Structure 1
Amino acid sequence: MSEWAAKRFWDKAEVSEAGAGFQVTLDARPLRTPFKSALILPTRAMARAVAGEWGAQGEQVDPLSMPVTRSANSAIDKVAPQHAAVAAMLAGYAETDLLCHRAGTPEGLVQRQTKGWDPVLDWAARIYHAPLIPTEGVLPVGQPEDSLTIYGNAVSELRPFSLTGFHDLVTLSGSLILALAVHKGQITVQEAWSLSRIDESWQIEQWGKDDEATEFAARKKDEFFHAARFLKLSDGA
């Protein structure tokens, strides 16, 4: 039996203003989320991206080819109703941030982590006046309460659409600090991805590639780059 797929039922996907935001219409019918909420987007750039995804569909609709639409749906249906809880969960990454947990050996990996991660931690400490303490190993170390409060406030200030993209940057990298650095334009998304993969890259250099792990990493990278794009679209870029 062949799998069912929704068929295209519209000719034009267009952008129009909707109050303080923007909407996408399919032959003048506004899009709605899976929970039947109005799909009101915060920026024209995001609305154009959503319209582009719908306009590019063939005879059958492929939801996997519409990542901006899916993230926008999540922002409205999932993130907005529990904004405080999502923000608190992400802020909690400051307590065990990837950049703070260092290897003790081998020396080559230690140096690579120090060279890559220290500048980003130093930047965050300077900009936010919120230092975090690096430690050796995976066991948590007590971080300054003032710093945790500051980072918590910074995350809670993000609006639902921005928080949606920010969420994936944090969870896919394991680092609140890397996500903040991308959001603030301190580093590129490619730099952040590479910094988040220092340990994995080292292991590959020592032992070679594993096909399954490589495929999994490629999917994570695509999701990470999409998250950065969605965050920029949320800000109008």
Structure 2
Amino acid sequence: MSEWAPKRFYDHATVEPVGAGWTVHLDARPLRTPGKSPLVVPTPPLAQAIADEWQAQEGTIDPTAMPFTRTANSAIEKVAPQRAEVAQMLADYGDSDLLCYRADHPEGLVRRQAEGWDPMLDWAERTLGARLEPRTGVMHAAQSPAALEALSARVHALDSFELAAFHDLVSLTGSLVLGFAAAEGQDGDTLWALSRIDETWQEELWGVDDEAHATAERKRAAFHHARRFFALCKAA
């Protein structure tokens, strides 16, 4: 027996202003989260992306085909009630940022990490006001408190919708710096490749594992979605 799926019960999904934000109406019915909270987002383009997902549903409603709706639901139901805790969890990545932990061999990997990651640490110093220092090996070594404080302040300044997207930008790459670079609009493909320097090196040595590759592709798609969601939170 196939799993039950709700049937489409509306003709049109439209964007409507509500208070200081924007929502989606399914015909005359305002959209709500699974927990029955009003689904209100900060910008018209983000609301339109959600409306487009609902308008594209045919026959039955497939939640897996609505990533913007899912992320908005998460922002409202999961992030907003504990925004400070989520922000601090993400800020903590600064003290163990992927870009700071370097291999000591082989020479080719050491060089590739330096060529890819050093410019991003320089960018963070210029743009974010935080200098993170690389170290060799995997043992934790604390970063400068001033640098961590500067990064933390920027994370805590994000609203719940931005944080919902930023969570994936950081957790999928393992890097607070790469997360900020994505949020600032840097090229997503380049940033994703930088986050996978170690994995790419291993694939070049030993070949591609099909299952690992499929998992990486799902994460790459999620990263690009999070980057787009964050941009729509800022769009006029």
TM-score, with length taken from structure 2? 0.98
Deviations 1:14-36 (A, max 9, x none): 01111111110001100001111
Partner residue in 2 for 1:83: 83
Q: CA deviation at 1:128?
A: 2.5
Deviations 1:61-98 (A, max 9, x none): 10000000000000000001100000000000000000
Give % identity: 55
- 1-structure distance, mates of 2:161, 2:139: 33
Q: Which amino acid aligns with 2:156?
A: S
The answer as to 2:21 corresponding to 1:28 is: no
Partner residue in 2 for 1:183: 183
Q: Runs of 5+ in structure 1 lacking a partner? A: none
Structure 2 SS opposite 1:16: strand
Partner residue in 2 for 1:73: 73
Q: Which amino acid aligns with 1:205?
A: E
TM-score, with length taken from structure 1? 0.98
User: For the Cα contact (< 8 Å) 1:97–1:177, is it kept in 2?
Assistant: yes
Q: CA deviation at 1:127?
A: 2.0
Q: Runs of 5+ in structure 2 lacking a partner? A: none
User: For the Cα contact (< 8 Å) 1:101–1:138, is it kept in 2?
Assistant: yes
Q: CA deviation at 1:110?
A: 0.6
- 2-structure distance, mates of 1:219, 1:157: 29
Structure 1 SS opposite 2:23: strand
Further displaced range: 121-130 or 106-115: 121-130
- In the alignment of these two chains, the number of paired residues is 236
Partner residue in 1 for 2:61: 61
Q: CA deviation at 1:3?
A: 1.1
Partner residue in 2 for 1:93: 93
Structure 1 SS opposite 2:14: strand
Residue correspondence of structure 1 range 7-18 to structure 2 within 5 A: 7-18=7-18
Q: Which amino acid aligns with 2:40?
A: I
- 1-structure distance, mates of 2:126, 2:98: 19
RMSD: 0.8
Residue correspondence of structure 1 range 1-237 to structure 2 within 5 A: 1-185=1-185, 187-236=186-235
Structure 2 SS opposite 1:14: strand
Q: CA deviation at 1:40?
A: 0.5
Q: CA deviation at 1:210?
A: 0.5
User: For the Cα contact (< 8 Å) 1:133–1:141, is it kept in 2?
Assistant: no
Q: Which amino acid aligns with 1:51?
A: A
Q: Which amino acid aligns with 1:73?
A: N
Structure 2 SS opposite 1:4: coil
- 1-structure distance, mates of 2:10, 2:234: 29
- 2-structure distance, mates of 1:160, 1:233: 13
Structure 1 SS opposite 2:25: strand
- 1-structure distance, mates of 2:142, 2:194: 23
Structure 1 SS opposite 2:124: helix
Deviations 1:160-212 (A, max 9, x none): 10111111000000000001111123x21111100000000000001101011
Further displaced range: 132-141 or 68-77: 132-141
- 2-structure distance, mates of 1:225, 1:128: 22
Q: Which amino acid aligns with 1:181?
A: A
- 2-structure distance, mates of 1:203, 1:115: 17
Structure 1 SS opposite 2:22: strand
- 2-structure distance, mates of 1:229, 1:127: 21
Structure 2 SS opposite 1:74: helix
- 1-structure distance, mates of 2:65, 2:19: 28
Q: CA deviation at 1:114?
A: 0.4
